[in-house]
């Protein structure tokens, strides 16, 4: 499977990168599993291997959502407050400076105002109070204007946008690792099939061939290759002796053995194919001409 996957690597990585989300990446991998399984079965001659590969690839398909696909994660903020923004809060330093400024104004202008107040004519004292108070209020207003200008502006409610990009290379590596396990299991099945084929060598129906069977088959083949009819008939007669050694009797047709035969019309009674009997039990029916 991994060899087939390597051939599709570039195309698969392109499709995974274009998928964008984990859900779409799973769909891409599911299509790839179907494609790999189809290509594998085209060159597989063992039914057992095909069935096992189908079951294992189904297990890989069910595990696809567990593959870690997270790559780059970006968070975009729009219209929010900056970190450390204390807009709208009353600062202690501002209060201290305000008190200090008022005290300095009183300390600096207080005596002057008192002297001006006591030294001027009675009708001009209101003007002294008015101008002195305006001076103090003006200084305080200047301070407040500086504070209002320097503090951060208020911003609206923050809106966040999360952009998650999948890591196609990571997905490919995880997918390939799963297919390596599938390949290992398939190779074990192939080894088992090869071992069974090796065990079949030199056997008939799962049992070892006996020396007498090998000798008989060899003689029959020699008779067939010889092209000599008399030699061939001589070797064929050895079959009856071979079967006798296996306690299988060759029975010719007669009135007493008629039950062992299928009969067909003929000019005279004769055995066409002998019956095979073991300890009185019929193994294979013979064929004979009844002569009727």
Binned at pLDDT 50, 70 and 90, residue 215 comes out as confident
Same domain, 196 and 267: no
Mean pLDDT value of segment 35-63 = 85
Residue 175 has pLDDT above 70, yes or no: yes
Binned at pLDDT 50, 70 and 90, residue 82 comes out as very low
Mean pLDDT value of segment 259-272 = 86
Whether residue 175 is contained in a domain is answered as yes
pLDDT digits (tens, 9 = 90+) for 217-243: 788 888 888 888 888 777 777 888 888
**Number of folded domains in the chain?**
3
Same domain, 256 and 132: no
Same domain, 97 and 37: no
pLDDT at 222: 83
Same domain, 67 and 175: yes
Binned at pLDDT 50, 70 and 90, residue 83 comes out as very low
pLDDT digits (tens, 9 = 90+) for 277-289: 998 889 899 998 8
Which residue has better confidence, 16 or 119? Answer: 16
Residue 123 has pLDDT above 60, yes or no: no
Residue 248 has pLDDT above 80, yes or no: yes
pTM of the predicted protein model: 0.43
Same domain, 35 and 176: yes
Whether residue 87 is contained in a domain is answered as no
Residue 117 has pLDDT above 70, yes or no: no
Whether residue 51 is contained in a domain is answered as yes
Mean pLDDT value of segment 9-15 = 86
Structural domain boundaries enclosing 220: 207-290
Q: How far apart are CA 128 and CA 114, in angstroms?
A: 9
Percentage of the chain beyond pLDDT 70 is 63
Same domain, 30 and 132: no
Same domain, 139 and 245: no
Whether residue 43 is contained in a domain is answered as yes
Binned at pLDDT 50, 70 and 90, residue 59 comes out as confident
Residue 272 has pLDDT above 80, yes or no: yes
Angle, helix 47-63 to helix 22-42, in steps of 10 degrees: 180
Mean pLDDT value of segment 108-122 = 59
Whether residue 158 is contained in a domain is answered as no
Same domain, 17 and 142: no
Lowest mean pLDDT among 79-88, 106-115, 161-170, 248-257: 79-88
Residue 79 has pLDDT above 80, yes or no: no
Whether residue 274 is contained in a domain is answered as yes
pLDDT at 68: 65
Whether residue 76 is contained in a domain is answered as no
Same domain, 221 and 280: yes
Highest mean pLDDT (candidates 28-37, 65-74, 102-111, 209-218): 28-37
Same domain, 58 and 17: yes
Same domain, 277 and 260: yes
Contact residues for 174 (Cβ-Cβ < 8 A; gap 6+): 67, 68
Whether residue 83 is contained in a domain is answered as no
**Of 176, 200, 224, at which residue does a domain stop?**
200
Same domain, 139 and 280: no
- For the chain, give the mean pLDDT: 75
Mean pLDDT value of segment 116-131 = 60
């Amino acid at each position: 499977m991994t060899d087939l996957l390597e051939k599709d690597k570039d195309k698969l990585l392109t499709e995974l990168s274009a998928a964008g989300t984990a859900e779409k990446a799973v769909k891409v991998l599911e299509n790839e599993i179907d494609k790999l399984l189809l290509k594998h079965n085209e060159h597989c001659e063992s039914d057992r291997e095909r069935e096992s590969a189908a079951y294992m690839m189904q297990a890989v398909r069910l595990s696809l959502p567990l593959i870690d696909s997270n790559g780059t994660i970006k968070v975009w903020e729009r219209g929010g407050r900056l970190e450390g923004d204390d807009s709208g809060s009353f600062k202690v330093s501002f209060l201290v400076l305000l008190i200090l400024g008022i005290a300095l104004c009183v300390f600096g202008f207080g005596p002057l105002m008192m002297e001006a107040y006591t030294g001027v004519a009675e009708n001009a004292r209101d003007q002294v109070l008015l101008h002195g108070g305006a001076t103090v209020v003006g200084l305080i207003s200047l301070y407040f204007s500086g504070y209002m200008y320097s503090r951060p502006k208020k911003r609206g409610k923050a809106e966040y946008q999360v952009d998650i990009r999948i890591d196609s290379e990571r997905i490919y590596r995880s997918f390939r690792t799963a297919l390596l396990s599938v390949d290992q299991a398939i190779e074990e099945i192939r080894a088992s099939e090869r071992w069974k084929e090796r065990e079949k060598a030199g056997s008939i129906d799962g049992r070892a061939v006996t020396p007498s069977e090998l000798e008989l088959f060899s003689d029959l083949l020699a008779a067939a290759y010889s092209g000599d009819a008399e030699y061939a008939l001589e070797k064929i007669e050895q079959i009856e002796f071979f079967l006798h050694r296996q306690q299988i009797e060759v029975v010719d047709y007669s009135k007493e053995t008629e039950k062992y035969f299928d009969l067909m019309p003929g000019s005279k009674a004769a055995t066409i194919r002998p019956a095979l009997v073991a300890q009185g039990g019929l193994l294979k029916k013979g064929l004979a001409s009844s002569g009727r």
